[in-house]
Structure 1
Amino acid sequence: MHSFNPFFLHQVIQHKSEECDHIKFLIEEKDSEEEAFYEDLDGFEENGTQETRISPYTFCKAFPFHLIFDRNLMLTQCGNAIFRVLPQLQPGICNLPSVFSLVRPHIDFSFQGMLSHINTVFVLRSKEGLLNVETSENEDELTGAEISCLRLKGQMIYLPEAENILFLCSPSVMNLDDLTRRGLYLSDIPLHDATRDLVLLGEQFREEYKLTQELEILTDRLQHTLRALEDEKKKTDRGCDQTIPRYHQGAAWDSKYIVKLLSSATTTTTLLLPLLHYYYLHYYYTTTTTTTTTTTTTTTTTTTTCLLLLLLPLLVYYHYYTTTTTMCLLLLLLVYYYYHYYYYHYYYYYLSTTTCSRSRSNSSTALLNRWKTVTHCL
């Protein structure tokens, strides 16, 4: 026996001879896994840890989702939460294949098959009709998962001291509703298990999904209301076309134009200037008329003419403002108005000089000159 490596044993099986020109060696591992386990076990015994430091009750409470079974797949221990929803799991009586079916991996549901895939994630599903829950639904509306079955996902751990396998698992659920429909609660999942966080995230996603659906419904209703509003607006426009001519609708319906019209300095000056002229003529000439019938008639005619000349440009400007011809007509009317203004001005000035005193005529002439100066400036 030769030891070239501290971890392996080398043994010469055959030496050189006439029939064989080489040497055969047998290489064996110095320490096997079983021997290493027993050496570790001896180390635990020397440290005084061979005694059980945790009772089965405490272990079942700390790991509420676990199964322990022997080589015959006979159940020897299970967690508190699993036993509450699956009362058929009686230790020493229940056989594991009678309650669960192996979903993953796709191997034979046997002790040796599970040992050969000990590093694989296992998924067990309870058979239908065994879950101790009252429900009338067969599928979850959101995930489509079966409610009448309990899925357990976890890992297999070999227990060589008892020739058993420990299945540490967690319930495969997505949200709180999925958990409660199987008779479980969030408090059943231990704090160290990541399934608790997964359930809370699933519940948050479910609420966001419901809010998204409600938002889509409200958006559809809003779009329907907008379409109905557009239809009513079209009906109103058609009714307006039938009752009011097209060239009148601009001044009647376009509020933006009215705001622009009032905010324009040029338009304001154009509208106020004839108004000031009218009030000046009406005030001045009515105070300087004579007592004769001819003079009174002439003053009334002047006042009426000035009023008509004021109203006509305003009416034309408000109702026919969209064309160039209308603007030209407005300018012609304004020129006509100013012509009559100066005509009546000199006419009444002549009357005032023949009937009134010289001092009154001089004051009237000075007032009219000042007014012409102001008008020229405007």
Structure 2
Amino acid sequence: MSTTPQILKGYRVLDCSIAMAGPFAAQRLGDLGADVVKIEPVTGEWQRHAAAGGARGNRVNVSFLSLNRNKRSLAIDLKTAEGKALLLRLVASADVFLQNYRPGVAERLGVDHTTLAAINPALVYVSMSGYGEDGPDRNLPGQDLLLQAKSGAMLSAGRHGQPPMPAGQYLVDAVTASTAFEGVLAALLHRERTGEGQLVQVNMLDAITTLQMQELSVYTAGGVPQQRSAEPHAHVYIRAPYGTFETADGYLALAMPDLPTLGKVIGEESFLEMDSEVHGWTHRDEVHRATAERLRTRTTSEWLAALAEAGLWAGPVYDYEALVNDPQIRHNGTFVEYEHPTEGRVTTPGFPYRFSRTPARIDRGAPLIGEHTSEVLAEAGLTPEEIRSLLRTGVVAETSRG
């Protein structure tokens, strides 16, 4: 294990979140050196039992594995008085508490901000929700696809009259995780300056809405509505051609080329007298159709070479196999590999940031259910006999890697 110092070393995070957004945010904190203790039910967090894509693994499914590295697991039954008391004991010395319970659940469990701030005024308390802590939609399910649909983003691409276009990843979960991660760092900086903890509230609806800063401002400040075209344009607020196009042997992506230059490259004479910023809007469908027809006549590699020589923006359309093996991805070290005690050699996306003095790293893979229960409770001051008693009564649970 590397001895290089990390930015968040010495901070403890209690991660009471489930599914993707909360665990992903907590994992980012762990990657930077925070001691992240995953507080989960004695039967395990929900994501352990929901295998995305059917990738189940040996003892840890890939969904959980991908979102819970650099954490220790403490399995507690928070519905018992003893379990709740243990959590409150840990809160007293924690720096960050992160939860994404349904609205009202934290209060019922007695782990709401008011209660925990009274125990530890310096605590950074992060509450994540689907639509907000209150308001008419507070109890609606905070599921990624539903939030994408509500956000308006699905109608910023695709054809007029065709079904809305959801993103090909869990976009709302991912941006909410990043928002919470940013919120924790900002609140810790405030605490370093003042000694004060505070409540940080993050919701998925606001996260995906503010991600569309430019698009929504075009509508709210510029007065231009979303206008999908007859052709499969990639973004309603960008001039044609803009999107993916079929070639003789695959696909390529083409972004906002100068139309006369493009006309010369692909042999489309109608583009030669066009003004890109005018006709790219007023003749969007015609430009798309003409471009699509021409690009089908040659291979992807031939077109990419010709477009690059003309200084136009174009690139290949990858699947995951191509992405993983891309020379730039390999050069960047975008993916990391490590040994997991039960899952073997794991290859997974690494870190989206680089620090010259305090690099992110993986010190441990995702834990088993309650793998660190005895360890964490001993650090909290419980005696071996007290821990054994809690294990016997089922207040806490522990799993061995043996």
Question: What is the TM-score with the length of structure 2 in the denominator?
Answer: 0.16
Query: Which one has a bigger Cα radius of gyration?
Result: 1
- Higher-helix-fraction structure: 1
- Of structures 1 and 2, the one with the larger relative CO (CA 8 A, separation 6+) is 2
